[in-house]
Structure 1
C-alpha cells in the first residue's frame, strides 16, 4: 500500500497526511497558538520538510499559531521563532516531494543515529542526567540529545557535502525517498560517520528545551 511519512508518522497516502494537517489548521481559531503538544511536534516535523526550512526555522521554533487568510478564504500556519519574529509557511509546500538534499540529510541522520543513543547511555551510566542548559534533573521520558553546544547537524552535514563537491556526490540506495535509505558507497558512509564524530558536540536538554532549539 502507498505510504507517506512525516517524521516517524506513516500515513496510507499523502491525502491522509494532508487531511491530518488540515484538521489541526481548522481546529484552532485564527490568531491562537497551537497548544497541543502532539500537534506541535507534528508541525515541527512538517516544517522540516519545507524546501526553505532553515529560513523558516531561523534561530528556533517557540510556537506555532494560526495565521489569518492571505489569499483566499483559508487560514494558514505561522511560526513564532525563539527571537519573537513570526513567519508564515505553506503546509502544502511541505508535502511536495523531498529535494535530493532533504533525502540525503535524512539518510545522513539515519547513518549516525546510534551515536546519540550511545551518548545518552554514557550520561545515564555516569549518573549525569541533568539538562546542560537549565540544570534540571532529567528522566528517560523527558530527555533529548541535542547539538546545541556546537555546530548543528545541518551545518555538519553541509560541511561534508561541500567537501565532496555538493549533495549530488552522495549516491543513495533507492529506498531513500522515505528517508530510510543508505549510502551506496560504504567507505563514504564511514567517512561521513568519522566527520560527524569529530564535529558533533552533544548535550542533554529537557524535551521542552529541545523543542525550542533550531532543528538538528
Structure 2
C-alpha cells in the first residue's frame, strides 16, 4: 500500500484496523494482517517485538496493558501474538513517524515500481483481456480502481530483504526524498542500482490483485 502522507497512513490504520476490529479478536489473514506485518518489521525494535515470529494480531484497550492503567479509556493498541504464544504491544506511530533505514529503502523500492505497476494494471484491465479475479477470495474484480497489487509469495518483505542482502544491506542503498522537489516518500539515489532492482523484481516477484472495498464507478 502507498499513502500520500504519514498522516494518511496513520489514519488508515486507525480507521480501518484499530477502530474497526472487535477487541481481543484475531485480525484475519488478508490485507490488514499483511500491512501490520510489514509495518512491524520496520520497527526500530522489530527483533525484540517479533521474537520467534508473528502468529497474528489483535486490538486491545490500552489501559488494560501493564503500566498503562492511567491512559484514557478510549485509547486502543495493536498487540502482536508471537509463535511461542507470548505477546507484545507496539506503536505503528513510532514506525511511521521515525522510519529507519529499512523503511526508507522499502519506500524507495516501492516508488521505483509505481509507473510499471500502473501500466501493468491498465493492461490487465484493458478491453478484451481475460477477467481479473481476487487472489484471496476468487471474486471477480470488475474495475481497475478496485484492484490493489499484493505480493503473497514471495512477500514484499522477502523481495526487498533479498535484494538488500544481495547489495550490502539496507545501509548500502542510498535514498533521497526529492532532491529539493516536493516529494512524499523516498527514491533510490543511484540510477544503476534502481534499474538493478527493477530487473530483480521482474525475475523474482509474483504480483497478484486483491479486491479492495471501492465501489464500482459508472
| TM band (smaller chain) | 0.5 to 0.7
Residue 191 of structure 2, aligned match among 161, 176, 186? 186
Deviation of the 1:173 alpha carbon: 2.1
CA distance in 2, matches of 1:194, 1:207: 28
Residue matched to 2:207: 202
Q: Which whole-Å CA distance do the structure 1 matches of 2:89 and 2:41 have between them?
A: 11
Name the residue aligned to 1:147. Answer: 151
Query: Equivalent residue for 1:65?
Result: 59
Stretch of structure 1 that moved more, 195-204 or 43-52: 43-52
Rounded to whole Å, the distance in 1 between the matches of 2:5 and 2:176 is: 21
Unaligned runs of 5+ in 2: 214-218
Indicate the SS of the match to 2:141.
coil
**Match among 19, 22, 43 for residue 50 of structure 1:** 43
> Structure 1, residues 61-90: CA drift from partner, whole Å, max 9, x if none?
6x6412422213236413477x9x784433
**Structure 1 residue 205, shift from structure 2 partner:** 2.0
Contact 1:34 1:64 in 2 (8 A): yes
CA contact (8 A) 1:119 1:202 kept: no
* TM-score of the two chains, using structure 1 as the length reference: 0.64
1:64-120 alpha-carbon deviations (Å, 9 max, x no partner): 412422213236413477x9x784433253355211111111111101122322332
For the Cα contact (< 8 Å) 1:111–1:193, is it kept in 2? yes
CA contact (8 A) 2:159 2:205 kept: yes
Q: Report the count of equivalent residues.
A: 184
Which residue among 168, 171, 185 is the counterpart of 1:168?
Answer: 171
Distance in 2 separating the partners of 1:111 and 1:86: 37
Q: Say yes or no: does 1:121 pair with 2:112.
A: no
